[in-house]
Amino acid sequence: MNVLILTGKFGMGHIAVAQALKEEIMEKYPTANIACSDIFEYTMPEYAESIYKTFALVAKSGNSFYNLIYKQTDHKNVNDTSFWCRFFKKKLQNLFLETQPDVIISTLPLCSRLVSWYKEEVGASFTLVTCITDISSHEEWIHKNTNYYLVGSKLVKRMLLLKGVYEEKIFVTGIPVRKAFHRITDDFDGKKVNKKLGQKASKHLLVMGGGLGLLPRTKEFYEGLNSLNGVRTTVITGNNKKLYNLINGRYENVEAVSYTKNVAMYMNDADVIMTKPGGISIFEALFCEKPLLLFRPFLQQEVNNMRFVLRNHVGTVISGKEEECLALIKKTMQDETNLERMKANIKTLKEQFNQNAVEYILKRVEQGIRSKDPIRKGDWVS
């Protein structure tokens, strides 16, 4: 069986989910041939870097414009043909000829749209699986030739059902994360994580800002973290070199780490994880069974993710002036009863996730079993 995973670097979450799915398929279905492709790097390699840089700029400074577009497109039928679909058609044909996919898994809304349109246009019979990488049912994810959906929560499933998606097509899996995040590992030396930090601290706070390193930028904030009694802090700055240089080597109880592939190691060692509410970051923390402190978000899909965390009582949101944020961080780190309550809630939440959904889907494809007519209520018919 040939499996093609399509993704893109709009933030690192989509890529991380694609990698997690590839790892899961390799483990559970070792006979599959798996290819993973970035849609823009494959179809327009000369422009891909500029496209991603533009997105990063909008994510940092164009929140209002981004949210306006996001909300407007949630009320429109996005299954229509367009210039972009036809532009990608030849490139997609070449990719499909190279990989000969039986199953295509999409972790990016655009990829789901393109593949659904392509199936309609040429009558292709491969199975399309869409993995929604936020706690959202935005219309951009929903396309009529999608055979299955992997979603992060029961709430998203209910929202898809209300939009006319058949129940047998929806699997609540949580947002997929790599195997290293699925258990508390003991195959690393915690001293390696803390070797630059004060060893008397009893609690470990991990601060993350995603691949772009979207974190507070004032030295006063990190001075405040450094002064928290009984707390040692690791800050993963991602690709934000300016922030790394601001922190690195300046504080006894705060360590800066630039972009790293060892995030699971740091998460496993932490007591609390402070991060922006990206879907993948939240679920990496949840699968590690770590309570969350979330920076108040501005992008609409991250607002949805934040509400999911608060609704399930597995984390807290920090906002306001620096002293207010630091006071809440201190209170959270010292409240052992609340930390244990959040950990118990995380374990309860994890029980609803179907860990065998991908294997089940692949076996159905191998056996030639299709889901129901993929056309959902309200879709256009050509």
Average pLDDT over residues 255-263: 90
Please tell me the predicted confidence (pLDDT) of residue 201.
Answer: 54
Please tell me the predicted confidence (pLDDT) of residue 287.
Answer: 95
| pLDDT above 80: residue 69 | no
Q: What 3-state DSSP class applies to 346? A: helix
- Residue range 6-27, pLDDT digits in tens: 998 876 788 999 999 999 999 9
Q: Specify the residue for token string 């494809």.
A: 365
Q: What 3-state DSSP class applies to 18? A: helix
- Residue 205's DSSP bridge partners are 233, 272
Rounded to whole angstroms, the Cα distance separating 258 from 235 reads 8
**In this structure, are strands 103-106 and 127-131 parallel, antiparallel, or unpaired?**
parallel
- Residue range 131-166, pLDDT digits in tens: 999 998 888 899 989 999 999 999 999 999 999 999
Please tell me the predicted confidence (pLDDT) of residue 43.
Answer: 87
Average pLDDT over residues 166-191: 78
Cα 32 from chain centre = 24
pTM for the full predicted model: 0.84
If you write DSSP's letter for every residue of 243-265 in order, what string do you get?
Answer: HHHHHTTS-SSEEEEES-S-HHH
Cα 104 from chain centre = 19
Average pLDDT over residues 325-348: 95
- The closest alpha carbon to 284, from 139, 182, 155, 161, belongs to 182
The stretches of the chain forming alpha helices (DSSP H) are 13-28, 39-43, 48-61, 63-73, 83-99, 109-122, 154-162, 190-194, 219-226, 241-247, 263-269, 279-287, 300-311, 322-334, 336-350, 357-366
- Judge contact between 175 and 152, C-beta under 8 A: yes
Share of the chain above pLDDT 70, in %: 82
Domains of the chain by range and CATH? 2-174+353-366 (3.40.50), 180-350 (3.40.50.2000)
Please tell me the predicted confidence (pLDDT) of residue 39.
Answer: 87
What's the number of CA atoms in the CB half-sphere (13 Å) around residue 240? 23
Please tell me the predicted confidence (pLDDT) of residue 84.
Answer: 65
Rounded to whole angstroms, the Cα distance separating 107 from 239 reads 22
- Compute CA distances 278 → 12, 27, 60, 296, 308, whole Å: 10, 26, 14, 11, 11
- Judge contact between 226 and 220, C-beta under 8 A: no
Name which of 26-40, 72-86, 157-171, 242-256 the model is least confident about: 72-86
- Judge contact between 252 and 227, C-beta under 8 A: no
| pLDDT above 50: residue 188 | no
| pLDDT above 60: residue 320 | yes
Region of 313 please: left (phi>0), alpha (psi -120 to 50) or beta. Answer: left
What one-letter code names the amino acid at 355? Q
Q: Give the chain's mean pLDDT.
A: 84
- Judge contact between 215 and 235, C-beta under 8 A: yes
- The closest alpha carbon to 192, from 282, 246, 269, 132, belongs to 269
